[in-house]
Structure 1
């Protein structure tokens, strides 16, 4: 199906596994996709992969935390296409950027603000710029933000990351309310842990070594809260994003859409 035929999409932080999966799904559904990241070589590989499979993709170097670069690039996209239909930002943060996972009693203000500045700040910058150009070009597009289930979890030593994730969800609702009069839809995808990604597999391996327990035990503890006997995949996240950006997906606006197959410990 080509639910996004003739749509113009920009994916920020597309060197990451999740954003890459979203870009592939956009292209498979007919969109022309611009894949951007600080790592130009990585997104060039992704764009070529999409083109080989019959999709339309172009790669560009854009820092999703640099307001000038974001603005200049979206202006270029509008200049080339006359419109901007879809924007997705898949930026993530590593525990190392927060100084590990310090308890709230020990975390410095700098450590607490690190994920707020990076993931929430980047989502703010790309969403605001996208809205500006969508309004100017009368694109009536879709802005998709991205967060993690930590926003509604009770996980020790993650006060900074959890607060940033919750802030992104709140920002989604406010932006949807502000830009809805221009027929711009703003929705947030909230992903559960994707076991196939390097980020989650690396965290499991690191935790297993730190606590001296088998990795299988950590996986079992996490999956104990699964409602179904399955877990979400990268492809499912990508397909969910493509659906939300489609005409049918207009029913979801200002919502936080969980992609986790259902978890007992997530509100």
Structure 2
């Protein structure tokens, strides 16, 4: 159960449901977890929950789009522990800002760029700063990135978000090639829609209203291509992340790991 005993992990955007699930799983498997977000109160609550269940967690205020803050925080973590074993960034984008659901002919250039700058840009910043410290300390750690299966599906009205997801996959492979000689792995979890999250439920409600169709019919769009009867859960995502950064996941590097229980429409 303690596959990550004595490992040091930093989780960015940990106020979100996805990153929170990863932080809990890392801690349950024995890692010392640093949970960060712009919302300090939220990550303090998460750290307290992890500690209450026997884990070791500390909370910090970090904007995952601010390289100075990222660097300062990771510098502190390395100074306190002498190493950095894995980082995970669960940053998302508010779908309206990203133009999600808006036809490409109508979406603004700013909406198109929003997810590229916010989602892919943040993954770039946190990963490259973490890699510098892993190289300096010889940590031979794992950069665990996150994106959505929109990268490889043919879904209309999602130009910016789909482009950002595809860019994260390319970034993952480039970093694996660059940092592999230092023993650093780069992996991306590519998740299908996690129906238990508030973000997906809000999207279903809003998209059904915009399309003028019943909410139940819109919800079917998220499950109609499932190979299995059930889709992935947050807890399963956390466990998958813990496996990938552990010694058991040693064979995974440069890989895009589909986390969706199988989709007929996924390339």
With the length of structure 1 as denominator, give the TM-score of the two structures: 0.98
Structure 1 residue aligned with 2:180: 180
1:89 corresponding residue in structure 2: 89
Q: 1:80 maps to which residue?
A: 80
Map residues 159-238 of structure 1 onto 2, 5 A cutoff.
159-238=159-238
Task: Name whichever of 198-207 and 4-13 sits farther off.
Answer: 198-207
Residue correspondence of structure 1 range 140-155 to structure 2 within 5 A = 140-155=140-155
**Deviation for aligned residue 1:73:** 0.3
Which string of whole-angstrom CA distances, capped at 9 and with x for unpartnered residues, describes residues 204-259 of structure 1? Answer: 11122222322222222321100011100000110000000000111110000011
2:100 and 2:218 mapped to 1: Cα distance? 18
Name the structure 2 match of 1:2.
Answer: 2
* Stretch deviating more after TM superposition (200-209 or 85-94): 200-209
Match runs of 1:1-267 below 5 Å: 1-99=1-99, 101-267=101-267
Counterparts of 1:75 and 1:33, CA distance in 2 = 15
Contiguous gaps of at least 5 residues in structure 2: none
Mapped partners of 1:138, 1:100: distance in 2 = 41
Equivalent-residue separation in structure 1 for 2:165 and 2:127 (angstroms): 15
Q: What is the CA-CA distance between 1:111 and the residue it aligns to? A: 1.6
Q: Distance in 1 between matches of 2:26 and 2:32?
A: 8
Distance 2:99 2:142 in 1: 35
**Segment drifting more, 91-100 vs 256-265:** 91-100
Return 242-251 or 212-221, whichever deviates more.
212-221
Query: Residue 74 and residue 103 in structure 1: after superposition, are their counterparts in 2 closer, same or farther (change >3 A)?
Result: same
Cα RMSD (Å) of the superposition? 0.9
What 5-or-longer segments of structure 1 have no aligned partner?
none
Determine the C-alpha separation between the residues in 2 that align with 1:65 and 1:252: 27
Query: Which of structure 1's runs of 4+ aligned residues deviate more than 4 A?
Result: none
